[in-house]
Amino acid sequence: KVTIKGIERELICPACKELFTHPLILPCQHNVCHKCVKEILFAFEDSFGDGGSESSNQSSPRIRISSSSMDRIDRISRSGTKRNSLTPRSTLFPCPGCQRDIDLGERGINGLFRNFTLETIVERYRQAARAAVAIMCDFCKPPPQESTKSCMDCSASFCNECFKVHHPWGTVKAQHEYVGPTTNFRPKILMCPEHEMERVNMYCEICKRLVCHLCKLGGCHANHRVTTMSSAYKTLKEKLSKDIEYLISKESQVKAHITHLDLLLKETKCNSERAKEEASQSFEKLFHVLKEKKSATLRAIEASKNLRMEKLHSQAEEYQGLLENNGLVGYAQEVLKETDPSCFVQTAKQLHVRIQKATESLKSFRPAAKTTFEDFVMDISKQEEILTDLSFRSSGVEIPEINEEQSRMYNKALISWECPGKRDSADIYVLEYHKLNREEENVTWQEIEVCSKSKVIPDLDDDSSYAFRVRAYKGSICSPWSQEVILHTPPAPVFSFLFDDKCGYNSEHLLLNPRRTSVESRAGFPLLLGSERMQVGCYTTLDYIIGDTGIAKGKHFWAFHVEAYSYLVKVGVVCSNKIQRLFHNTHDVASPR
* Band (587; pLDDT cuts 50, 70, 90): low
pLDDT at 302: 92
Instruction: Indicate if 477 and 500 belong to the same structural domain.
Output: no
Within a domain: residue 220?
no
**Amino acid (1-letter code) at residue 528:** L
* Band (138; pLDDT cuts 50, 70, 90): confident
Percent of the chain at pLDDT > 90 equals 9
pLDDT at 282: 87
Q: In CATH, what number is assigned to the domain containing residue 31? A: 3.30.40.10
Whether 80 contacts 92, CB under 8 Å: yes
pLDDT at 470: 93
Instruction: Indicate if 259 and 281 belong to the same structural domain.
Output: yes
Instruction: Indicate if 118 and 142 belong to the same structural domain.
Output: no
Percent of the chain at pLDDT > 70 equals 80
pLDDT at 51: 44
**Amino acid (1-letter code) at residue 452:** S
Q: In CATH, what number is assigned to the domain containing residue 417? A: 2.60.40.10
Q: Does pLDDT of 28 surpass 50?
A: yes
Cα–Cα distance between 282 and 289 in angstroms, integer?
Answer: 11
Instruction: Indicate if 456 and 500 belong to the same structural domain.
Output: no
Q: Mind spelling out the 3-state secondary structure of 289-336?
A: HHHHHHHHHHHHHHHHHHHHHHHHHHHHHHHHCCCCCCHHHHHHHHHC
Within a domain: residue 74?
no
pLDDT at 71: 53
Instruction: Indicate if 14 and 124 belong to the same structural domain.
Output: yes
* pLDDT tens digit sequence for 215-248: 888 777 777 888 888 888 888 888 888 888 888 8
Q: Which of 407, 493, 487 is nearest to 455 (CA)?
A: 407
The per-type count for the chain, helices as H runs and strands as E runs, is: 12, 22
Higher-pLDDT residue of 133, 121: 121
Q: Does pLDDT of 48 surpass 70?
A: no
Instruction: Indicate if 12 and 119 belong to the same structural domain.
Output: yes
Element holding 208 (H helix, E strand): none
Instruction: Indicate if 355 and 415 belong to the same structural domain.
Output: no
Q: Which of 412, 422, 399, 426 is nearest to 484 (CA)?
A: 399
Instruction: Indicate if 117 and 157 belong to the same structural domain.
Output: no
Highest mean pLDDT out of 366-370, 470-474, 486-490, 542-546: 486-490
Q: Does pLDDT of 333 surpass 50?
A: yes
Instruction: Indicate if 283 and 157 belong to the same structural domain.
Output: no
- The torsion angles phi and psi of 193, rounded to 5 degrees, stand at -65, -30
Higher-pLDDT residue of 86, 40: 40
Determine the structural domain holding residue 99 and report its residue range.
Answer: 1-45+89-131
**Amino acid (1-letter code) at residue 588:** D
Within a domain: residue 146?
yes
* Band (53; pLDDT cuts 50, 70, 90): very low
Cα–Cα distance between 463 and 264 in angstroms, integer?
Answer: 55
Within a domain: residue 411?
yes
- The torsion angles phi and psi of 371, rounded to 5 degrees, stand at -90, -20
Instruction: Indicate if 333 and 293 belong to the same structural domain.
Output: yes
Cα 562 to Cα 328, 399, 520, 579: the distances in Å are: 99, 33, 10, 22
Residue 185: half-sphere exposure toward Cβ, Cα within 13 Å? 13
Within a domain: residue 126?
yes
Within a domain: residue 215?
no
Q: Does pLDDT of 209 surpass 60?
A: yes
Instruction: Indicate if 254 and 340 belong to the same structural domain.
Output: yes
Q: Mind spelling out the 3-state secondary structure of 435-478?
A: ECCCCCCCCCCEEEEECCCEEEECCCCCCCEEEEEEEEEECCEE
* Band (441; pLDDT cuts 50, 70, 90): low
Higher-pLDDT residue of 280, 538: 280
Within a domain: residue 571?
yes
Global pTM reads: 0.40
* pLDDT tens digit sequence for 144-180: 887 888 887 788 888 888 888 888 887 888 878 777 7
**Residues, the chain, total?**
593
Within a domain: residue 124?
yes
- Structural domain count of the chain: 5
List 210's β-bridge partners, or say none.
203
* Band (1; pLDDT cuts 50, 70, 90): very low
Higher-pLDDT residue of 269, 43: 269
- Which of 464, 489, 514 terminates a domain? The answer is 489
* Band (585; pLDDT cuts 50, 70, 90): low
Q: Does pLDDT of 474 surpass 50?
A: yes
Mean pLDDT (the chain) is: 78
Instruction: Indicate if 288 and 346 belong to the same structural domain.
Output: yes
Q: Does pLDDT of 512 surpass 50?
A: yes
pLDDT at 270: 86
